[in-house]
Structure 1
Amino acid sequence: MKFLKTTVWALLICLSFQSFAINAEDKKQANPREIWTKEQANQWYSQQGWLVGADFLPSTAINQLEMFQAADFDTVTINRELGWASKIGMNTMRVYLHDLLFQEDSAGFVKRLDTFLNIAQKHKIKPLFVLFDSCWDPFPKLGKQRAPKPGVHNSGWVQSPGLEALKDSTQYARLERYVKGTVAAFANDSRVLAWDIWNEPDNPNTSSYGKVELPNKVDYVIPLLSKAFVWARSVNPSQPLTAGVWNGNWETHETLTPIEKVMIDQSDIITFHNYEDAADFEKRIKQLQQYGRPMICTEYMSRGNGSFFKGSLPIAKKYNVGAINWGLVDGKSQTIYPWDSWKKTYTAEPELWFHDIFRKDGTPYKKDEVELIKKLTSAK
């Protein structure tokens, strides 16, 4: 009888604890944190050091799905290539996720993200995770991904959410579970730098998939983008949330488009893209200084478009702006080819690479670029 009483008490204590935990979580989500003040954002940024990195996809993956699906998760290549980044002084990577990965196997997906973070931490790299993306193929599918189209830039990259989910509001509950579940799993994880809610949300993909895109895509994206910020903030992440402006007139807040205003107003830190020359890069930084928040350029460096490390990176350091270039290693994404490869045929490696830093064997495409990055980051 004494044993039975002890067991009952233990069970009651356990149930009480579970009830407390559930109530605490409900309360936590009922009272999401506010958008950071400028002071909070700048205090966070002061603890990061100068952020330099790349938009990262291992050379063996063609897109976000192939990077993180269980059958294709290539930790050997990830470890090797992040090692090359670390050796030239890079301390962050921008990494794209996908809602279908969470839908298929949320526990497995989170476990693989944890493994990825362990590898990155070993190389002293803190990733910035991207939750949604409006670029390239609007019809993502799980499973074996197609082979790259020879000579075509990002021929297999996919959007998240895809077109069908974007226009189907009955799927928004699933997208909400993805955002909340993914962010909550790492909400207090010091290995994560930040959360990029949506990459180029209003990109119409005119040169690639424009003919099959939703003609009124932005009308669907704006409310979902706003919801995604709320979902992510509801689980009280210790890391900042952001969405990067990438095209348009940023001279004043009034000159922003409606979707750009959502991106700026909901962001804890300011992020942006710039694939233009050094003068334009500096002009954009000065325009965004009006918000008084830390800045990270989350995409730059397109040699064929006049954007080079030697032009943009010293300016980023001058203004203490984080700098994340597109592409680390030449691989299945084929981003050494320019954007116009969707309309122009390339039968050999271009003499001037568009993106990327290393060849698959780890040798730099341009040694002087690597030396500049090492010098500016003070890598030994």
Structure 2
Amino acid sequence: MIKKLFLQIILIVCISNCFAQSPDRRWPEARIWAWYNQQPWYCGFNYIPAYAINYTAMWDKTTFNEAAIDKELALAEKSGMNSLRAVLQYAVYADDPKYFINTLDKFMAICDKHHIKFIPALFDDCSFGITNDPKTGKQPEPLMGWYAWAWSPSPGHSMVVDSATHPKLKKYVTEVIARFKNDKRILMWDLYNEPTNGGLGTATFPLLKKTIVWARAVNPSQPLTIGIFDQNPRLNKIITDNVDLITFHDYGDKEHVTKTIEELKQYNRPMINTEWMNRPWKSTVSEIVPVFYQYKVGCNLWGLVNGKTQTNLPWGHRPGDPEQKLWQHDLYSGDFKPYKSAEIDSLKLFIDRSKSAEYISEHQHK
């Protein structure tokens, strides 16, 4: 009896040590797998409202529109999807931190109402237009025929490369994560969307590394991640050495996505795809969702309702370029009609299947 009790105590201590770690360290494999095994299969989307030409417009006090967001997320819920990812905008926070925090809370309340988990991305280097720094207030109107004409990086390229501004960014990262560090409406923290993209290259590395340290110091209950999106070995080592779970972007066809997943298995951590769907490249619902479903890799396509960003156009599209009739992104047109009804039916089918006891049991990591 004493021996049995002693063994039970040893087991409890071992489990406790496994899940306890210094706040500046990433989660051990056992902890992240235990977390992942408790999650459903996430099948969702990258979200920017149809009214917003960029993420500044989404969050800014001059344009944030709860009613429009509620209608669009009701559409997502009706489609069966259960997660969304959206980029936050530092400039809006800097303009009025209290407003920004309250607006995030309102947005997450809408997500929760529609049973959708939120994946916030704190920074973003991407730039598709002619401006690389955001400005709050009224945003430009679309330039017809230009993909993501007025996209606004966060915090903007000037601040990324100017280390003197980084204490301000530390305050932003720390305050936002600390405010929601135990909020169950958040699935995970995506610290930086496509760092180095938009022409910055390795100039992003200092801020990227600092952001990881700042976030770890807060020690949120949700896991931390950064998406792998290209073949830069230096960047990918920073990412894979520091994230709790592996996230990645892949707009390739079925063979390419399968190869990516098989290669990422080497890290022995759960995987969630945070960007996919490019119809002209054969990254389609019918081809790709079955792959993610088979591997129980969560997936977030781009995007929900087509609007001012004009992401139905191909990357790099400019006014006067030949028309591409096949949409690149987006599930619905602005009038909420599906671009292809079969896509919505297929998403619902796989999401419903993923809720079966057999599927859940089969995909439990041992």
TM-score computed with the length of structure 2 as normaliser: 0.87
Aligned match of 2:359 = none
CA distance in 1, matches of 2:245, 2:331: 27
Tell me, yes or no, if structure 1 residue 115 matches structure 2 residue 106.
yes
Deviation at 1:139, TM superposition (A): 2.1
1:166-315 correspondence runs (5 A): 166-203=160-197, 205=198, 213=199, 217-248=200-231, 257-315=233-291
Q: How many residues align?
A: 330
Gaps of 5+ in 1: 1-30, 206-212, 249-255
Give deviations 1:119-169, integer Å, cap 9, x for gaps.
Answer: 000000011000111101412111111111102211111111212112211
CA distance in 2, matches of 1:272, 1:126: 18
User: Is the contact between residue 24 and residue 213 of structure 2 (CA under 8 Å) also seen in structure 1?
Assistant: no
Tell me, yes or no, if structure 1 residue 162 matches structure 2 residue 156.
yes
CA distance in 2, matches of 1:270, 1:32: 19
Tell me, yes or no, if structure 1 residue 38 matches structure 2 residue 29.
yes
Gaps of 5+ in 2: 1-21, 356-366
Deviation at 1:343, TM superposition (A): 7.5
Paired residue type of 1:377:
I
Aligned match of 1:134 = 125
Tell me, yes or no, if structure 1 residue 84 matches structure 2 residue 67.
no
Paired residue type of 1:94:
R
Deviation at 1:62, TM superposition (A): 0.9
Counterpart of 1:128 in 2: which secondary structure?
strand
Give deviations 1:183-241, integer Å, cap 9, x for gaps.
Answer: 111000001111111111121x3xxxxxxx5xxx3332112101101111111111111
Tell me, yes or no, if structure 1 residue 378 matches structure 2 residue 361.
no
Aligned match of 1:320 = 296
Aligned match of 2:314 = 338
Identity %: 40
Deviation at 1:338, TM superposition (A): 0.6
Tell me, yes or no, if structure 1 residue 359 matches structure 2 residue 321.
no
4+ residue runs of structure 1 moved beyond 4 angstroms? none
Aligned match of 2:89 = 98
Tell me, yes or no, if structure 1 residue 147 matches structure 2 residue 147.
no
Deviation at 1:270, TM superposition (A): 0.2
Paired residue type of 1:239:
Q
Deviation at 1:344, TM superposition (A): 5.6
Counterpart of 2:345 in 1: which secondary structure?
helix
Give deviations 1:259-297, integer Å, cap 9, x for gaps.
Answer: 111111111010001111001000000000111111011
Paired residue type of 1:269:
L
Paired residue type of 1:150:
M
Tell me, yes or no, if structure 1 residue 56 matches structure 2 residue 47.
yes
Larger Rg: 1
User: Is the contact between residue 193 and residue 226 of structure 2 (CA under 8 Å) also seen in structure 1?
Assistant: yes
CA distance in 1, matches of 2:78, 2:51: 21
Paired residue type of 2:169:
L
Counterpart of 1:78 in 2: which secondary structure?
helix
CA distance in 1, matches of 2:51, 2:107: 15
CA distance in 1, matches of 2:34, 2:151: 36
Deviation at 1:44, TM superposition (A): 1.0
User: 1:342/1:198 Cα in 2 relative to 1: closer, same or farther (>3 Å)?
Assistant: farther
